[in-house]
Structure 1
Amino acid sequence: MEHFSQEEIQKIAEVTMEVFGYDPPVRAALLQGMPRRFAGLLPGGMTAPTIGLKLDLDYLNTVPRLDDGNIPLKSWLRNASWLGAGRADAEPLRRFHEAIDEKVTGSPPIKTVGFTELQEVVVHHDDMLPYAYMKAGVSAGEAVAKLLVTRYLNDEVQKNSSGNPSKFLGTGWLVAPGLMLTNNHVVNAREKGEPPASDSDFELQAKSTVALFDYDADGAAGSSATAIELIARDRRLDYALLRIDSGARKPLSHGQRLAATSSQEDRLALNIIQHPDGDPKKFAIRNNLLTAATDTELRYFTDTMAGSSGSPVLNDLWEAVGLHRGATRVTGVKFNGRDVAYVNVGTQLSAIKTDLAQRYRGKVPELGI
């Protein structure tokens, strides 16, 4: 199965040559982050740049998920977007990265009805925080894990091109002792356009989910735990709750339901601890203001990527207030005088707890439900 049509691959090649070229240093930068053994198989390294670029792209276009859950063409386009940051002529590459990102994560479309877009947010107040803020953030990060979900179809494990189980990536976190919260679409392990997993496959995928805690740097082994059971799920709120043997690891504390303020001086900062694209744990704590809120959803500028789905949305006390679920592209929105391409969206934790109380009462005593 190809990710893009040949016409689209040709467009990617043309824009890449116009913006960067494809000499060895550029090629190395675009292959950054791919397994060395895999990158060595690419056919474009020993030919003229134009031919080599097309050979590499044609090959990458046919490669599905690797054993670690990553998709090489998505990594290539992510690197191209990073190299072209701030350049208008690189916009098509960012669009292609967005397209493959949306396709392979299976994140449901985000409706933006009911939110008032901010045309400008400029904040003029003291942003200093206590010294203990950083220490508390590191402590909160211990409850956050990289998730790997094995895909099933008709009760059978699906294999990648190497013959190994196909893995989907996400982030999850301990909402209570032994309870892991993530997105429904992470456990669903389907790409855009595919039918949702059957109840049986979803259950198997939930029980196959491996949480890798303490994956905090490249080369870190981390400590893994496998889910025991699926407790609850909801597609509308996009959450799944799994029971997991997390030992004595502490869960995140919970904050209150958030409401958006009309005052630009009092907009709340929302932090996210995440495993973007399955990478080691990262903090998103800059340019991170809340822009809008409803009873069930939050909207914020905080940076995320694919693989960040299922991350906790946290206030400055490092209390969980939401579950990150995706991003929607916007136009005509500025932050501190600069155009903003995306606004991120999460589910209010209070709405998830309300749903659990209404539909799963007696099944979640750890949350008092």
Structure 2
Amino acid sequence: MTLRAIVGRVAPLEAMIEANNLRPVSFLTQAIRSARAVAQIVVPQLGLGTGFMIADDCLMTNNHVLPTAAVAGNAQARFNYEIDADGKLSEGVYFRLRPDLFFTTNEKLDYSIVAVEGSPGLRFGSIALERVPLGPNQGVNIVQHPAGGPKQVALVDNELVYCDEVLAQYLTDTLPGSSGSPVFDDNWRLVALHNSGGWIPEPGTQSTHFRNQGILVRAILDDLVRQGFAAGH
């Protein structure tokens, strides 16, 4: 008797409960690969945020984390600050930011990109900036340093509930310190830069919702194209 015949005779004891939450095992591999490129941003006397490598020697975070080159020049990126598989805390490794080599920012789109000394992307990897299709009801996952603590990832109750040409709003959890985190779709493609949360208005309506929000990568790319830092469509 073949395995197919045996399986066909077994009474069904399992079922999908609402949405299909099954993922290939490669989902975990992709998550770990993407998470390596995420760092805590340490800004003396101002606070903590999150950022991520987008090239071997360039990092992205929020404008409100690094608003000026002067602020960035005193900041550091702390990689590998996380709890490992054995439950041990890795204190991480620090890299100096180098706005004298490259720095650009946009207050309205709340992003900053800055050069990092030592090219940590060669060691920890980087995350590609792409124009990824995005629509309501998708799941979005956020790798972050919430509350200034070790790196964590939000994977549960992560529905995208609003999206336009600039903003994405979602139910994925964050905390202070998560500003500047990468927002990924379920294929671990970067879709947004997390920048705020709480009671925020939904554009085009009179309603306010308790949500988190990010700036779409495609809007940031459009701005980089206008500045001559990226190729067009």
Mark yes or no: TM-score above 0.5.
Answer: yes
1:205 is paired with a residue whose SS is: helix
Alignment-derived partner of residue 43 in structure 2: 149
The amino acid across from 1:241 in the alignment is: I
Alignment-derived partner of residue 251 in structure 1: 126
Q: Deviations over 1:172-192 (max 9, x none)?
A: 00122211000000113xxxx
**Structure number having the greater strand percentage:** 2
2:212 is matched with which residue: 344, 353, 359?
344
CA separation of 1:141 and 1:302: change in aligned 2, threshold 3 A = same
Alignment-derived partner of residue 211 in structure 1: 77
Kept in 2, the 8 Å contact 1:259–1:294? The answer is: no
1:358 is paired with a residue whose SS is: helix
Q: Distance in 2 between matches of 1:315 and 1:181?
A: 18
2:54 is matched with which residue: 165, 168, 175?
175
Structure 2 residue runs without a partner (length 5+): 1-16, 202-208
**TM-score computed with the length of structure 2 as normaliser:** 0.80
**TM-score computed with the length of structure 1 as normaliser:** 0.51
Q: Distance in 2 between matches of 1:212 and 1:241?
A: 16
Kept in 2, the 8 Å contact 1:258–1:293? The answer is: no
Q: Distance in 1 between matches of 2:169 and 2:98?
A: 32
1:187 is matched with which residue: 56, 66, 70?
66
2:109 is matched with which residue: 233, 237, 246?
237
The amino acid across from 1:184 in the alignment is: N
Q: Distance in 1 between matches of 2:89 and 2:139?
A: 31
Q: Distance in 2 between matches of 1:321 and 1:177?
A: 20
Structure 1 residue runs without a partner (length 5+): 1-122, 151-165, 189-201, 262-266, 332-340
Q: Distance in 1 between matches of 2:194 and 2:153?
A: 13
2:98 is paired with a residue whose SS is: strand
1:139 is paired with a residue whose SS is: helix
Q: Deviations over 1:284-306 (max 9, x none)?
A: 00000110111111010000000
Alignment-derived partner of residue 126 in structure 1: 20
The amino acid across from 1:349 in the alignment is: V
Kept in 1, the 8 Å contact 2:129–2:221? The answer is: no
User: For the aligned residues, what is the CA RMSD?
Assistant: 2.2
Q: Distance in 1 between matches of 2:130 and 2:24?
A: 19
The amino acid across from 2:178 in the alignment is: S
The amino acid across from 1:133 in the alignment is: F
Q: Which is worse superposed, 302-311 or 124-133?
A: 124-133
Matches within 5 A, 1:203-352: 203-217=69-83, 219-229=89-99, 230-245=102-117, 246-247=119-120, 248=122, 249-261=124-136, 267-329=137-199, 342-352=210-220
Structure with max Cα Rg = 1
Alignment-derived partner of residue 206 in structure 2: none
Q: Deviations over 1:284-335 (max 9, x none)?
A: 000001101111110100000000000000011111111000113269xxxx
Q: Deviations over 1:40-83 (max 9, x none)?
A: xxxxxxxxxxxxxxxxxxxxxxxxxxxxxxxxxxxxxxxxxxxx
Kept in 2, the 8 Å contact 1:183–1:325? The answer is: yes
Higher relative contact order (CA 8 A, sep 6+): 2
Q: Deviations over 1:119-153 (max 9, x none)?
A: xxxx9231100011112101111100000113xxx
Q: Distance in 2 between matches of 1:260 and 1:223?
A: 37
CA separation of 1:257 and 1:319: change in aligned 2, threshold 3 A = closer
2:112 is paired with a residue whose SS is: strand
The amino acid across from 1:358 in the alignment is: R
**Structure number having the greater helix percentage:** 1
Q: Distance in 1 between matches of 2:200 and 2:73?
A: 36
2:82 is paired with a residue whose SS is: coil
Following TM superposition, by how much is the alpha carbon of 1:220 offset from its aligned partner in structure 2, in angstroms?
1.5
Kept in 2, the 8 Å contact 1:299–1:343? The answer is: yes
CA separation of 1:143 and 1:169: change in aligned 2, threshold 3 A = same
